[in-house]
Amino acid sequence: MTNEHSFDGNFDVFLADTPESKQLHYNIRYQVYCDEMGFEDKELFPDQQEYDKWDNHSVHFLVRDKHRGHWVGALRLVLPENSSLPFEKHCNLEKKLSTGEYLQSVELSRLCVLKEVRRFSAKRFAPYGILTEENVFENTNVTVLHNYKNLGLILTWGLIRAVALYCKQNNRKDLYLLVAPSLASAIRKVGFSADQIGEPCSHRGKRIPLKCNIENIMANALWKKDYKNGFRVYSDLLKQKTA
Protein backbone atom coordinates (compact mmCIF):
# COMPACT_ATOMS: atom_id res chain seq x y z
CA MET A 1 0.00 0.00 0.00
CA THR A 2 1.30 3.45 -0.86
CA ASN A 3 1.63 6.28 1.67
CA GLU A 4 2.29 10.01 1.67
CA HIS A 5 6.04 9.50 1.95
CA SER A 6 6.43 7.18 -1.03
CA PHE A 7 7.03 7.86 -4.71
CA ASP A 8 3.97 5.79 -5.63
CA GLY A 9 1.86 7.74 -3.18
CA ASN A 10 2.76 11.07 -4.75
CA PHE A 11 3.78 10.63 -8.37
CA ASP A 12 2.78 8.86 -11.57
CA VAL A 13 4.99 8.10 -14.55
CA PHE A 14 3.35 8.26 -17.96
CA LEU A 15 4.44 7.12 -21.38
CA ALA A 16 3.67 10.03 -23.71
CA ASP A 17 1.73 8.35 -26.52
CA THR A 18 -0.29 11.31 -27.81
CA PRO A 19 0.60 14.65 -29.44
CA GLU A 20 -0.65 16.48 -26.34
CA SER A 21 1.54 14.48 -23.97
CA LYS A 22 4.61 14.89 -26.18
CA GLN A 23 4.04 18.64 -26.12
CA LEU A 24 4.07 18.48 -22.32
CA HIS A 25 7.34 16.56 -22.51
CA TYR A 26 8.96 19.00 -24.93
CA ASN A 27 7.83 21.96 -22.82
CA ILE A 28 9.47 20.57 -19.68
CA ARG A 29 12.66 20.21 -21.68
CA TYR A 30 12.29 23.78 -22.93
CA GLN A 31 11.94 25.07 -19.37
CA VAL A 32 15.08 23.22 -18.26
CA TYR A 33 17.36 23.33 -21.32
CA CYS A 34 16.37 26.73 -22.72
CA ASP A 35 14.89 28.89 -19.95
CA GLU A 36 16.88 27.63 -17.00
CA MET A 37 20.20 26.34 -18.30
CA GLY A 38 20.57 28.22 -21.55
CA PHE A 39 22.00 25.15 -23.25
CA GLU A 40 19.64 25.41 -26.20
CA ASP A 41 18.82 28.58 -28.10
CA LYS A 42 15.35 29.79 -27.14
CA GLU A 43 15.02 31.53 -30.49
CA LEU A 44 14.99 28.13 -32.21
CA PHE A 45 11.91 27.07 -30.24
CA PRO A 46 9.35 29.90 -30.39
CA ASP A 47 6.61 27.41 -29.51
CA GLN A 48 8.47 26.60 -26.25
CA GLN A 49 8.88 22.96 -27.32
CA GLU A 50 12.49 21.76 -27.17
CA TYR A 51 13.08 18.82 -29.52
CA ASP A 52 15.60 17.50 -32.05
CA LYS A 53 15.90 14.92 -34.80
CA TRP A 54 16.26 12.07 -32.31
CA ASP A 55 12.73 12.56 -31.02
CA ASN A 56 11.44 10.85 -34.15
CA HIS A 57 13.18 7.71 -32.89
CA SER A 58 12.37 8.05 -29.19
CA VAL A 59 9.90 7.01 -26.52
CA HIS A 60 8.96 9.83 -24.14
CA PHE A 61 8.12 9.71 -20.44
CA LEU A 62 6.65 12.22 -17.98
CA VAL A 63 6.31 12.44 -14.20
CA ARG A 64 3.20 13.99 -12.65
CA ASP A 65 2.54 15.17 -9.10
CA LYS A 66 -0.67 13.22 -8.68
CA HIS A 67 -2.10 15.47 -5.95
CA ARG A 68 -1.83 18.74 -7.87
CA GLY A 69 -1.63 17.52 -11.43
CA HIS A 70 1.67 19.31 -12.09
CA TRP A 71 4.08 17.77 -14.62
CA VAL A 72 7.49 17.92 -12.94
CA GLY A 73 9.96 15.74 -14.85
CA ALA A 74 10.74 13.99 -18.09
CA LEU A 75 13.14 11.78 -20.01
CA ARG A 76 13.29 10.05 -23.36
CA LEU A 77 14.57 6.70 -24.55
CA VAL A 78 16.30 6.98 -27.90
CA LEU A 79 16.20 4.00 -30.23
CA PRO A 80 19.19 3.47 -32.54
CA GLU A 81 18.96 5.04 -36.00
CA ASN A 82 21.30 3.83 -38.77
CA SER A 83 23.46 2.05 -36.18
CA SER A 84 23.93 5.18 -34.12
CA LEU A 85 22.93 6.67 -30.76
CA PRO A 86 23.26 10.35 -29.76
CA PHE A 87 25.94 9.92 -27.09
CA GLU A 88 28.39 8.38 -29.58
CA LYS A 89 29.06 11.70 -31.30
CA HIS A 90 30.32 13.23 -28.06
CA CYS A 91 32.78 10.60 -26.79
CA ASN A 92 35.18 7.91 -27.92
CA LEU A 93 34.02 4.46 -26.94
CA GLU A 94 36.34 1.58 -26.12
CA LYS A 95 34.69 -0.32 -28.94
CA LYS A 96 31.95 0.31 -31.47
CA LEU A 97 28.60 -1.35 -30.81
CA SER A 98 27.83 -4.30 -33.06
CA THR A 99 24.67 -4.58 -35.15
CA GLY A 100 23.27 -7.07 -32.66
CA GLU A 101 24.01 -4.78 -29.73
CA TYR A 102 22.18 -1.90 -31.38
CA LEU A 103 19.10 -4.09 -31.79
CA GLN A 104 18.89 -4.65 -28.04
CA SER A 105 19.95 -1.19 -26.86
CA VAL A 106 18.51 2.24 -26.06
CA GLU A 107 19.95 5.49 -24.78
CA LEU A 108 18.49 7.33 -21.80
CA SER A 109 18.46 11.01 -22.73
CA ARG A 110 17.05 14.41 -21.74
CA LEU A 111 16.53 13.41 -18.11
CA CYS A 112 15.33 16.55 -16.34
CA VAL A 113 13.39 17.73 -13.29
CA LEU A 114 11.86 21.21 -13.04
CA LYS A 115 13.64 23.68 -10.80
CA GLU A 116 10.55 24.03 -8.57
CA VAL A 117 11.40 20.63 -7.13
CA ARG A 118 15.13 21.23 -6.76
CA ARG A 119 17.23 23.33 -4.39
CA PHE A 120 20.30 24.45 -6.29
CA SER A 121 20.82 25.97 -9.74
CA ALA A 122 20.72 23.25 -12.39
CA LYS A 123 23.92 24.66 -13.93
CA ARG A 124 25.81 22.89 -11.18
CA PHE A 125 24.60 19.52 -12.44
CA ALA A 126 23.90 20.37 -16.10
CA PRO A 127 22.62 19.11 -18.42
CA TYR A 128 20.54 16.77 -16.31
CA GLY A 129 19.56 19.07 -13.45
CA ILE A 130 19.35 16.22 -10.92
CA LEU A 131 20.00 16.56 -7.19
CA THR A 132 22.88 14.63 -5.70
CA GLU A 133 23.00 12.89 -2.35
CA GLU A 134 24.39 15.92 -0.50
CA ASN A 135 21.73 18.36 -1.67
CA VAL A 136 19.05 19.46 0.76
CA PHE A 137 15.39 19.69 -0.21
CA GLU A 138 13.78 23.09 0.29
CA ASN A 139 10.36 24.67 -0.33
CA THR A 140 8.58 23.44 -3.46
CA ASN A 141 5.10 22.93 -4.78
CA VAL A 142 5.38 19.29 -3.73
CA THR A 143 4.93 19.85 0.00
CA VAL A 144 3.77 16.35 0.87
CA LEU A 145 7.34 15.05 0.53
CA HIS A 146 8.83 17.66 2.86
CA ASN A 147 10.93 15.05 4.69
CA TYR A 148 12.73 13.92 1.55
CA LYS A 149 16.14 15.52 1.06
CA ASN A 150 16.74 14.18 -2.44
CA LEU A 151 13.53 14.67 -4.37
CA GLY A 152 15.37 15.03 -7.68
CA LEU A 153 16.89 11.59 -7.26
CA ILE A 154 13.59 10.13 -6.09
CA LEU A 155 11.96 11.28 -9.33
CA THR A 156 14.94 9.92 -11.26
CA TRP A 157 14.56 6.45 -9.76
CA GLY A 158 10.85 6.46 -10.58
CA LEU A 159 11.63 7.29 -14.19
CA ILE A 160 14.38 4.67 -14.39
CA ARG A 161 12.03 2.04 -12.98
CA ALA A 162 9.52 2.88 -15.74
CA VAL A 163 12.26 2.79 -18.37
CA ALA A 164 13.45 -0.63 -17.21
CA LEU A 165 9.92 -2.03 -17.38
CA TYR A 166 9.45 -0.62 -20.87
CA CYS A 167 12.78 -2.08 -22.03
CA LYS A 168 11.96 -5.49 -20.60
CA GLN A 169 8.60 -5.47 -22.38
CA ASN A 170 10.28 -4.55 -25.66
CA ASN A 171 13.34 -6.81 -25.55
CA ARG A 172 15.88 -4.07 -24.97
CA LYS A 173 18.65 -5.42 -22.76
CA ASP A 174 21.16 -2.57 -22.50
CA LEU A 175 20.76 1.06 -21.47
CA TYR A 176 23.36 3.69 -22.40
CA LEU A 177 23.82 7.05 -20.68
CA LEU A 178 26.13 10.05 -20.94
CA VAL A 179 26.09 11.63 -17.49
CA ALA A 180 27.85 14.00 -15.14
CA PRO A 181 30.11 12.37 -12.53
CA SER A 182 27.63 13.29 -9.76
CA LEU A 183 24.84 11.31 -11.39
CA ALA A 184 27.16 8.41 -12.25
CA SER A 185 28.10 8.23 -8.56
CA ALA A 186 24.44 8.33 -7.46
CA ILE A 187 23.53 5.54 -9.90
CA ARG A 188 26.24 3.29 -8.54
CA LYS A 189 25.53 4.20 -4.92
CA VAL A 190 22.02 2.73 -5.11
CA GLY A 191 23.35 -0.50 -6.60
CA PHE A 192 22.90 -0.20 -10.36
CA SER A 193 25.77 -1.79 -12.26
CA ALA A 194 27.12 0.92 -14.55
CA ASP A 195 30.15 0.09 -16.69
CA GLN A 196 32.19 2.98 -18.02
CA ILE A 197 32.64 2.27 -21.73
CA GLY A 198 34.90 5.13 -22.77
CA GLU A 199 36.97 8.04 -21.58
CA PRO A 200 35.18 11.03 -20.01
CA CYS A 201 34.38 13.71 -22.54
CA SER A 202 33.48 17.39 -22.54
CA HIS A 203 29.84 18.03 -23.40
CA ARG A 204 28.40 20.89 -21.35
CA GLY A 205 30.83 19.88 -18.65
CA LYS A 206 32.53 16.60 -17.91
CA ARG A 207 30.47 13.59 -18.98
CA ILE A 208 30.98 9.84 -18.54
CA PRO A 209 29.61 7.22 -20.97
CA LEU A 210 27.94 4.35 -19.10
CA LYS A 211 26.27 1.06 -19.98
CA CYS A 212 23.66 -0.47 -17.67
CA ASN A 213 22.01 -3.86 -17.85
CA ILE A 214 18.20 -3.89 -17.71
CA GLU A 215 18.00 -7.15 -15.75
CA ASN A 216 20.34 -5.68 -13.14
CA ILE A 217 18.16 -2.57 -12.86
CA MET A 218 15.03 -4.71 -12.50
CA ALA A 219 16.64 -6.67 -9.66
CA ASN A 220 17.50 -3.58 -7.59
CA ALA A 221 16.36 -3.50 -3.96
CA LEU A 222 14.87 -0.02 -4.45
CA TRP A 223 11.76 -1.56 -5.96
CA LYS A 224 10.93 -3.82 -3.00
CA LYS A 225 9.11 -1.15 -1.00
CA ASP A 226 8.27 1.56 -3.52
CA TYR A 227 8.19 2.42 -7.23
CA LYS A 228 5.90 -0.54 -7.85
CA ASN A 229 3.41 1.20 -10.14
CA GLY A 230 5.67 1.26 -13.18
CA PHE A 231 4.16 3.57 -15.76
CA ARG A 232 0.80 4.42 -17.24
CA VAL A 233 -0.09 5.41 -20.78
CA TYR A 234 -1.17 9.01 -21.22
CA SER A 235 -4.05 8.11 -23.54
CA ASP A 236 -5.58 6.08 -20.71
CA LEU A 237 -5.60 9.24 -18.59
CA LEU A 238 -7.60 10.98 -21.30
CA LYS A 239 -10.08 8.11 -21.35
CA GLN A 240 -10.61 8.51 -17.59
CA LYS A 241 -11.31 12.23 -18.02
CA THR A 242 -13.99 11.58 -20.63
CA ALA A 243 -15.57 8.55 -18.93
Residue 2 within a domain: no
Tens of pLDDT, residue by residue over 181-190, are 999 999 999 9
Amino acid at 90: H
Longest Cα pair distance anywhere in the chain, in angstroms? 53
The pLDDT, as a whole number, for residue 145 is: 38
Residue 157's pLDDT band, with cuts at 50, 70 and 90, is: very high
The rounded distance, in Å, linking the Cα atoms of 144 and 128 is: 24
Tens of pLDDT, residue by residue over 14-48, are 999 999 999 999 999 999 999 988 888 899 999 99
The rounded distance, in Å, linking the Cα atoms of 25 and 8 is: 20
The rounded distance, in Å, linking the Cα atoms of 233 and 13 is: 8
Angle subtended at Cα 101 by Cα 213 and Cα 91, rounded to the nearest 5 degrees: 80
Residue 1 within a domain: no
**pLDDT exceeds 70 at position 95:** yes
The pLDDT, as a whole number, for residue 237 is: 84
Are 132 and 186 in contact, with CB atoms under 8 Å apart? yes
Q: Domain total for the chain? A: 1
Residue 235 within a domain: yes
Q: Is the dihedral of CA 150, 113, 216, 161 positive or negative?
A: positive
Residue 50 within a domain: yes
Is this model's pTM higher than 0.95 or not?
no
Residue 67 within a domain: yes
**Residue 166's CATH number:** 3.40.630.30
Domain that holds residue 112: 7-242
Residue 163 within a domain: yes
Tens of pLDDT, residue by residue over 116-154, are 775 433 333 333 333 333 333 333 333 333 334 478 889
Q: What is the DSSP letter of 66?
A: T
The rounded distance, in Å, linking the Cα atoms of 32 and 182 is: 18
